[in-house]
Amino acid sequence: MGSNQFRVDIAGPARMCRYGRLKLDPLIAATVPLRRINEGFKTMKSGALRAGLWISAP
């Protein structure tokens, strides 16, 4: 992971999520079941989504 210091680099954003100061929900544009992962990636690559894609397990 390069020069990543996981315990240091993730602690701040994780704390912000826990206290509601970092909102992740607006970053999820679509939820796709795992069985449709290829379709989800095609949609994401086409530029049809303004935010990220969440892949959910069945």
* φ/ψ of residue 18, rounded to 5: -60, -40
What residues does 53 pair with on adjacent strands? 30
* pLDDT at residue 43, rounded to an integer: 86
From CA 28, how far away is CA 3, in angstroms rounded?
A: 27
* pLDDT at residue 55, rounded to an integer: 65
From the first residue on, what is the mean pLDDT of each consecutive set of 10 residues in the chain (58 residues)?
80 91 85 87 84 68
Q: Using an 8 Å Cβ cutoff, are 8 and 14 in contact?
A: no
Q: Which two tokens stand for residue 42?
A: 């095609």
Q: Using an 8 Å Cβ cutoff, are 35 and 57 in contact?
A: no
From CA 12, how far away is CA 43, in angstroms rounded?
A: 31
